[in-house]
Amino acid sequence: MEIQLKYQKELEKLEKDNKELKKQLLLAKQHRGPNKTIKKTLIDMYSEVLDELADYDTSYSLHDQLPRVVVVGDQSAGKTSVLEMIAQARIFPRGAGEMMTRAPVKVTLSEGPYHVAQFKDSDREFDLSKEEDLANLRTEVELRMKRTLRKGMTVSNEVISMTVKGPGLQRMVLVDLPGIISTVTKDMAADTRECIRKMTEHHMANPNAIILCIQDGSVDAERSNVTDLVAQVDPSGKRTIFVLTKVDLAEENMADPQRIKKILSGKLFPMKALGYFAVVTGRGRKDETIQQIKQYEEQFFRSSKLFRDSVLSSGQVTTRNLSMAVSECFWKMVQETVEQQADAFKATRFNLETEWKNTFPRMRELDRDEMFEKARGEILDEVVNLSQVSAKDWESLLADKVWHRISSHVFDNIFLPAAQTGNSKSYNTMVDIRLKEWAELQLAERSIEAGTEALQQEFMRFMENSNKLSDPVFRPLKEAVLQEALRRHSWENKGNHMLRMIQMNALQDRNVTDKQQWDSAIKFLEKGLKERIETTDKVLKEMLGPSTKERWLYWRSTTEEQNKRNYVKSELEKLLYSNYTHEPVLNGDEITTVRKNLQRAGIDVSPEFVRETWHPIYKRHFLNNSLSNTYECRKAFYLYHQGGLESEIDCHDVVLFWRLERMLNITANALRQQVMNREARRLDKIIKEVLEDFSQDNEKKLQLLTGRRVTLAEELSE
């Protein structure tokens, strides 16, 4: 026995020297050249594969088939301490008997020149040789565990990933799980015990997971929860390694040394294992260092009665031997399963490629990001097309939009009231006053609104034409970009004051200089009157219901209210026939007369009902009269030019609409310059900003670029 201990001591010395040489070698490689990068170790690449698969395969069906060491045990059995001994650092938070591990922690161990730890999603390195960094690391682990907890939950299934590097560390991936509990305390969620059990079963269910079963040697074997669970998942024990902790306490308290021998030979617990190990992970003090724990462990087994009496063999004790055995088993499992998964990947790839060839022939495989870039190019091409619109087309579109915005105000608030004045002087006075007020307060703003609408409409037209020819899969994205760009775009206010001055100057001029301008104004007036008559007829149609012809041909009927409106209409038209130049407002006597006539026919209506019916009827009457008068003014230019209009024909309406038409043309020209010189470029910039924002928003791309073609290309690119 003494000779065995002597050789063990020499072996440990050689290993220590070897560790120092490896550290120097790694440092030499690291500083070999400034342009050379350090190659990732095999274990680092394997761990990254696990993380990538966890993100890619949301069902975990593939991710859960790859090897890792799952550390399971009852609460306070010492499983976290075992993991820390393997990692050679006190990296986990600890509490006096309370639950500290609340989420799975995946720890990737690998060799490195310095003893450091780092989280998967962070660039910060913790120096494990410094107590301050160790304390910060433990705090960070605890905070991350708390962040994974949903409201009202005690444990979480979300995995926290970290790497630990250092000289002499065995390369492997371990997953530390919350300890299995027997009792749910008041400060825990009611389903905590069941959640931990399901989580443990889920991680052990991976057929390629090595189960590191931790059993507290200081408690009675009959109180163990974990051994039954492990026996159910791995009854043959082909991937289980049994670890008995706190052997020092077990030796101190146990009267029968043969009981420990039975445990470590697999004859006591109802489970089987590849190997059985006994370890000591310190005296249970928080301030113990790894080196102190190792020294205590070596000292204990050197002087242990169990060891001296050959109850335990030298290969079954210490965390160093355990770590080597676990690493050997881990890499054997990796070699077997990676080949299987590679074959599975090839088969999946072949199936996906076959589906693409049959479903989307003659199409390139573009993933979501590539499709977004293609759609971006098409959208920007349409922005360029805005610059190809001619000045004439812009001015025509802008003039139509401005007139559409202001025509109601012109007819209802300027033209109609002025026409009731009765003479040319009053007519011109009212027109001048109202035009000036309107130009000062509203006209420029309405014009800019029309300009914005025209610019947006033209761009939408290009986009709609593009959608007819482009890939349908881009349509939701293009529409979303268009809507967001239009929402952000607003007309610059720099030119408002200048536009207002131009419009006011144009409206003040009343001198029609040639016959061509006169004819153009008459056409403009006729067009405006016909549009208003058509609009008024639609209002009357809705108010009066279907005509007699429509009722006969299409079997339509009128409501009771529409019948009353028709009777009122007949009475009101009689008033207009009797007084062709009737004022726009009914007086009280006329309303009373209409009501009495209707009452004789058995129809009772209110004065307000009569007035409501009167307004559109009078408006149509007035507009038709104005249109007839316009026809008479077609050949009156020379009378107007000679100053004889007042005595012959009333053509002041033509002059008013000449002023309006001239203002429209000047406004359209000014807006066109703003569009071509400024606003189109601003819209182009906004669209590029929207596209850039969307390109950074993966959820937005996922929402807008959909369909089997997209998802299949994504799967093929991964």
**353, part of any domain:** no
At residue 96, the pLDDT reads: 56
673 pLDDT band, cuts 50/70/90, is: very high
Secondary structure (3-state) at 150: coil
Please tell me whether residues 167 and 303 are part of one structural domain: yes
Helices (H), 126-190: 131-148
At residue 49, the pLDDT reads: 65
At residue 17, the pLDDT reads: 66
616 pLDDT band, cuts 50/70/90, is: very high
Mean predicted confidence (pLDDT) in 601-605: 90
68 touches 175 (CB < 8 A):
yes
**362, part of any domain:** no
647 pLDDT band, cuts 50/70/90, is: very low
**pLDDT reading at 54 higher than 60:** no
Please tell me whether residues 186 and 45 are part of one structural domain: yes
Q: Express each pLDDT in 8-27 by its tens digit.
A: 666 666 766 666 666 666 66
Please tell me whether residues 5 and 114 are part of one structural domain: no
Please tell me whether residues 535 and 435 are part of one structural domain: yes
* CA distances from residue 564 to 102, 542, 584 in whole angstroms, order as listed: 79, 13, 22
Q: How many CB atoms lie within 10 A of CB 660?
A: 23
At residue 636, the pLDDT reads: 83
Please tell me whether residues 435 and 579 are part of one structural domain: yes
Mean predicted confidence (pLDDT) in 682-710: 90
**346, part of any domain:** no
Mean predicted confidence (pLDDT) in 591-612: 92
Q: Pick 554 or 73 by higher pLDDT.
A: 73
**pLDDT reading at 33 higher than 50:** no
**pLDDT reading at 6 higher than 80:** no
**484, part of any domain:** yes
Q: Which domain holds residue 29?
A: 1-39
420 touches 622 (CB < 8 A):
no
Please tell me whether residues 157 and 178 are part of one structural domain: yes
**367, part of any domain:** no
Q: Express each pLDDT in 415-467 by its tens digit.
A: 988 888 878 888 889 999 999 999 999 999 999 999 999 998 888 888 888 77
Please give the mean pLDDT across all residues of the chain.
84
At residue 7, the pLDDT reads: 60
Helices (H), 61-127: 79-87
Q: Pick 524 or 340 by higher pLDDT.
A: 524
At residue 123, the pLDDT reads: 87
97 pLDDT band, cuts 50/70/90, is: low
Which of 315, 341, 367 lies at the terminal end of a domain, its last residue?
341
**pLDDT reading at 248 higher than 70:** yes
* CA distances from residue 4 to 308, 311, 557 in whole angstroms, order as listed: 11, 15, 113
**370, part of any domain:** no
At residue 151, the pLDDT reads: 82
User: In the numeric block, which tokens belong to residue 536?
Assistant: 């008024």
**pLDDT reading at 58 higher than 90:** no
48 pLDDT band, cuts 50/70/90, is: low
Mean predicted confidence (pLDDT) in 281-289: 80
pTM: 0.54
Please tell me whether residues 14 and 51 are part of one structural domain: no
Please tell me whether residues 466 and 398 are part of one structural domain: yes
**391, part of any domain:** yes
Between 121-130, 294-303, 584-593, the lowest mean confidence (pLDDT) is in 294-303
Please tell me whether residues 9 and 59 are part of one structural domain: no
Helices (H), 178-289: 192-204, 226-233, 247-253, 257-264
Q: How many CB atoms lie within 10 A of CB 24?
A: 11
At residue 225, the pLDDT reads: 84
Q: What is the CATH number of the domain that holds 158?
A: 3.40.50.300
If one counts the domains in the chain, the total is: 3
Identity of the highest mean pLDDT range in 285-289, 359-363, 570-574: 570-574
Identity of the highest mean pLDDT range in 329-338, 344-353, 517-526, 544-553: 517-526
Which of 341, 362, 397 lies at the terminal end of a domain, its last residue?
341
Which of 279, 313, 341 lies at the terminal end of a domain, its last residue?
341
Please tell me whether residues 51 and 29 are part of one structural domain: no
**709, part of any domain:** no
Please tell me whether residues 90 and 106 are part of one structural domain: yes
Please tell me whether residues 63 and 33 are part of one structural domain: no
Cα gap 397→668, rounded to integer Å: 8
528 pLDDT band, cuts 50/70/90, is: very high
Q: How many CB atoms lie within 10 A of CB 703?
A: 12
